[in-house]
Amino acid sequence: MTMNAARQIGLIAAGSQPWNPDICAANGDRFAYCATLSIYIYEMDRRANNFCLHSIMAEHKKTITTISWSPHNGNLIASASIANKIIIWNVAEENSVAQLDVTTGTPLSLGWGLPDKNSVMFICSHGPLYVWTFTCGQSVVAHKDVQSFSAEICQFRCHPMDPGKIAIGHVNGSISFLCPGQRILKHSVRIVTEDDGELSDGCQITCLEWDPLGVDYLLCVVAYECIVLVDSSSTKIVTKFQLPSVAISVRSLSWISSAPGMFITGDANSGVLRLWNVSKATAVESFRINKTGFHSTYVVTAEMSRDVSKTSYAHGDQCCQTDRLWSTSATLSDAASSKGSVLPVAKILCLFADGAVGLYDMRRKRWAFLREKGHVETIFDCKFSPDDPNFLATASFDGTIKVWDIQTLKAVYTSAGNEGIIYSLSWSPVESHLIAASTSRNGAFIWDMKKGKITSRFQEHKQGSNIYTVAWNQKDARRIATAGSDCQCIVSTLDGRAIVRYRHAMAVYGCDWSPHNADIIATGCEDKNVRVFYLATNSENPVKVYSGHTAKVFHVRWSPLREGILVSGSDDCTIRMWDYTQDSCIRLFQGHTAPVRGIVWNPEIPYLLISGSWDCSIRVWDTRDGASLDRISDHGADVYGLSCHPKRPFLLASCSRDTTVRLWSLLSFVHPLEISILAGQPWNEILVSPVTGKEHAMHIGTPPLLAGKISRDIKLDLDRSSGDTFRKSLVLFSKFFGKPEGCTNLWDLVNINLGLEDNVLSSESYRCGIVHSKHVVSFKLSEAQDLELIRMSKFGRAGLGNQTREDQLRTAADLNIKLGNVQKYCELQAELGEWDKALAIAPFVSLKYWNNLIRRRANELMEDDSSDVIPFAVAGRQTALLVDFLSTRGLHNDAYLVAAGAGDRDEENGSDDDDDCSKRLHEMHVAPPKSNKRTKDKTISLLERTSHDLADWYLLNGSPVLAACCHLSIDDHQGALSKLIRGFELELAAAIGQVLEMTDGLLLVAIELLSRRCERLGRWELGVCLLRRFHGTGRLLVRLCSRCAAPMSEVNQLHDLAGLPSLEESAAMAEQLRSDENKRLECVEFYMISSMPEVGLQLGIDEVKGRMALVGWTVDDVFDLLQTISAMQTEKLQKQSKRMSELLVLCAYVGALMAIRHRFDSVVLPLFTHAFFVIKRDGPDVPLSHSLISREMTIWEATRLLGKNETAFSSEQRVAYDELLHKVGCCGEASVGRVIVAASNLPSHSDINVSCLNNQRIKGPVFFLEDGLSAVSLSDAVMWARVNPFSPLASGMRINPF
């Protein structure tokens, strides 16, 4: 039974490409957009109530030009690329179902529907329109009418109600129409300007969209600056829409089918979304939703009725037929232009020019989903900051450098671009804000990420050369090396002056400084050789030349732990290892099937090497013997860059031509080290010994030992510490091994729970994370006050990527209202000009304050000479001022009416005393809350509920550490451990439990599962040592020793270590207890750890069957006994075929009941089915029947459909339901709930595996069963193994995914 050792734990998705228009689509709960080579599919997760990345489709080898979602089948989407290939994808199955190589050119536009639902239409340049029925092979039919156009085609659109009706846009601004049963009308519409002059050639149709609820109407955009509504039946222009300014250009356009007659446009040069109605030539409303311009939009709406009828409406001198519903939308659009109106119900998929992607909820005026800009092209390199393991820099073909915070997976700094292709990066070893980069056209440069500008350039290479690699000397920060296509590796000073030029016979692709000697540098060359140069010799000749590769050498990397050891990756698909003291290759690594690119050494394990290749894979190597330890195939294209950080050495970052950055956990390679620390093992089992040195760790078969600087520093820190160093070691090594997301935050909260707040409260990372409930109000108030200081500034905080002044004030207002500071909220909204929001809330402060605020608004409007002042001045009792205002503007009638309405009341001196305020608040049904114990209790209860809800949300989204933080923020230790266990963060759960001194069952659950992990690793003695540290683990020790299949002498040694009797002594003790009915479990346990486990198996099964034959039995009566007898060694169990069959049935059935108790819903039905299968196959003698299992399966499925609403059950069902509930009993553990392995929601490109439990495609980590073919998800495997120790294949083999 196996699973991948490296596990994906994070993914930074690509941004949307900025080139082709038709690169987004939506269908139901899904939407899609295109990067350069990949299609990203997002899907609404109803459980977590947010959009999650569902899959990445990446088989195209060149830029995608267009996509189109099938209107008939929500699982099918078509895409085309400049490689002249069309692919049909099945989104649900995450694979391609058909591919077509187009021989006539690049498909520019796609559509569905002719002649049937399995047909895709596409068009290239001048035509014709081709139809491909993808279920019938590769045959393509040209549409006889749609061909031979005089102008090139930009795009075409099939009518959503009548796919036979097609509009075709051309580069000369004309439109052609094809209607069923009619001849095609070529270039029948030519868009004209307002001066009635035709647009010049080159003013192409840039967007076409049919009215989804009508038959004849088409919206189009010409040359990004002219929007028209066309009647296809008369081929006339109905409306020309007016943009607010000639400087505004329109990039995209979409109808809103939920609001007939309405559509939206996105400005190309700014993030302004405009709402239009066909009955008006000007926009109804505008929204600035982003700083950068739109690239494309798509309206995502609920499916609307297509039952439409005709009516007429007038526009200017024209009259035409349109949908009756349009007339009702005019009222809606008019209302939308007024304050506080109800906008259309629609979500707008927005793609921006900078690659950002979002789903904007127009009705709520907020983002339902927003993914900030990512790279839009191949990412060639990634490097962690030497000072901060949370900062990762990436270099891309798109010409930008981005620095990511891997805790949030967001870009915190982005370079300006325009540097050509950026191939390589290197951080300064001294100034952590400086990054060196090499480019395709501008040499190399140093970029200051904090200032957002380039501070120096290196132009020593020949003009026009590609600089493939830059390397900043980590031991001497004054030197930077660059390698390029001009056959040179140049070492320069920071001001760009060349120190030495190392000339090669051909292009130099790679260079790397020795981490042990500041004067040694290695290069990789196109001439297939590796060279080593020594600067101190002042010679341009290499001191070593290594030959052996049969193709160009790309990257070279020195080992950070073993001086003089160097590896090189080549286009010959191999990696070679060299020793500086020798003249030939000392190890050859074969396995990649395409050129090798990324190479990185692990900074703690001296023999661990990781490589990436054009074969789309990452491999982990053991350099001691050249073995490939793991192969990762989740990237969809060439893997270029790899990086590890010494402070978090078992986190790997990778980047690829698929435009993603992925994060991987390599902890599976060092699980024994983590458990050794938890078990308090001696240091020589964790760190390389100063006596034996690193060479001991390099012996084949030696368990992994830490050999890096950071682990040594931790050891030194612990040696200097006083007090409980074991707890401190758990904290330090937990951060060392931990994942980036939430680990530091978690330990900060643990310290607060322990009363150790002094060092935590000043930590910026704590303030930015999940804070304890007793700090949240004070922290957020402080944050709001900090944001309010921006009022002193005209422009807000400086710096690239910071919020504008308005954004910061809005954030401050939002924080204040959540914290209950109503008056502060109103003041900030008034300063922002959001007077409606301020005035709506002001009465809850006092009517006196509201009156004051409304007068301020009236005064402001008077200063602006606005007629909107009237209602505010009247409500604010400023009648005299208002009358003067109106009179001086000649509005005497209005002034009179205002004065008459006021009568003789002197509103300027009106009373606003407290009694009047209380009276009017009473009329508004508003009462101040009473401060009493009951209110406080309700507040605490609400806080707990919201914290638990947020924790559940984090767990569902694959972030169990953040889920645990939510529980610790309210001192809920059990809840925190539960989330960690359910998220499969077992080591972290064990460490947290020990530091918090928890003694309940949850800590023992984590310890038990970790002991099972020791079994899987063959480290039986380590499992015993771990269990013996805790009370109440005697039974677990018995089971562990029972399963150990080792020679008798080794088993007896293990027994002695566990404090158990030897095999012979156990047999004797079992015989003594056999006659005592009250000691049956103890008797069975001694038999299981003796030389006669088959006797214990027989006694145990008979006892279980006897208990299950009793009326009113529960799983608590039999589960422990079943777990004990199931610990029998596999080889011995399989020899007892009859008893094994009985045991498999009993374990599967009782396991199903336990799964119901623990709410492991996804394995309940498979466990019942498994028991049913074994009964049918073997016919064992057990107190179970087909009918019983079938009945309980049916009632369990009914409870899932109907809930626990017993009134919906029949009387027979109710009886069966009660019986089932009684058997299941209740679980006292807080760990109830399904297991969701961390990051199991992330998509991958690895081989498609279907679960043998439910025949569904597995998402996330896969666990293979003993046949090497059958697979289940790791989450399901963990749940299955926790309630049933035997494999789903019914072979008698145990399942151990821990």
CB 881, CB 862: distance < 8 Å: yes
- What distance in Å separates the CA atoms of residue 965 and residue 312, rounded to the nearest whole number? 61
The answer, yes or no, to whether residue 1230 has pLDDT greater than 70, is no
Least confident of 4-13, 275-284, 1158-1167: 4-13
Which structure tokens are listed for 68? 């189109």
Sheet containing strand 574-579, strands side by side? 553-558, 565-570, 574-579, 585-590
Q: How many residues does the chain have?
A: 1298
Which segments of 559-626 are extended strands (E)? 565-570, 574-579, 585-590, 596-601, 608-613, 618-622
The model's pLDDT over 30-46, given as tens digits with 9 standing for 90+, comes to: 999 999 989 999 998 87
- What distance in Å separates the CA atoms of residue 191 and residue 201, rounded to the nearest whole number? 11
- Mean pLDDT, the chain, whole residue set: 87
What is the per-residue pLDDT for 1247?
61
The model's pLDDT over 980-989, given as tens digits with 9 standing for 90+, comes to: 999 999 999 9
What is the per-residue pLDDT for 933?
55
- What distance in Å separates the CA atoms of residue 1014 and residue 996, rounded to the nearest whole number? 24
The answer, yes or no, to whether residue 656 has pLDDT greater than 90, is yes
Of the candidates 622, 664, 673, the one whose C-alpha atom is nearest the C-alpha of residue 639 is 664
What pLDDT band is residue 779 in, cutting at 50, 70 and 90? confident
Which structure tokens are listed for 64? 């995608």
Residue 395's alpha-carbon distances to 58, 378, 436, 960, 1160, in angstroms, are: 20, 9, 11, 31, 43
Average pLDDT over residues 682-710: 90
Percentage above 90 pLDDT, the chain? 64
- What distance in Å separates the CA atoms of residue 659 and residue 661, rounded to the nearest whole number? 7
Which structure tokens are listed for 571? 């286009």
Q: Which residue has the tokens 């001198």?
A: 317
- What distance in Å separates the CA atoms of residue 603 and residue 670, rounded to the nearest whole number? 13
Percentage above 70 pLDDT, the chain? 89
Least confident of 691-695, 777-781, 820-824, 914-918: 914-918
The answer, yes or no, to whether residue 911 has pLDDT greater than 90, is no
The answer, yes or no, to whether residue 510 has pLDDT greater than 50, is yes
Average pLDDT over residues 3-20: 90
The model's pLDDT over 56-77, given as tens digits with 9 standing for 90+, comes to: 988 898 999 999 999 999 999 9
CB 1255, CB 1266: distance < 8 Å: no
Average pLDDT over residues 10-14: 94
The model's pLDDT over 922-966, given as tens digits with 9 standing for 90+, comes to: 443 444 444 455 555 655 676 788 888 889 989 998 999 999 999
Question: 3-state SS of 60-82?
Answer: CCCCEEEEEECCCCCCEEEEEEC
What is the per-residue pLDDT for 406?
94
What is the per-residue pLDDT for 791?
55
CB 1142, CB 1180: distance < 8 Å: yes
Q: Collapse the DSSP code of 922 into the 3-class scheme (helix H, G, I; strand E, B; otherwise coil) and give the result.
A: helix
Q: How many CB atoms lie within 10 A of CB 1292?
A: 20
Q: Which residue has the tokens 């066909």?
A: 278
The model's pLDDT over 712-754, given as tens digits with 9 standing for 90+, comes to: 999 999 999 988 899 999 999 999 998 898 999 999 999 999 9
- What distance in Å separates the CA atoms of residue 1253 and residue 1243, rounded to the nearest whole number? 20
What is the per-residue pLDDT for 1274?
95
The model's pLDDT over 844-901, given as tens digits with 9 standing for 90+, comes to: 899 899 889 999 998 888 887 777 888 888 888 887 888 778 767 656 567 756 766 6
What is the per-residue pLDDT for 427?
98
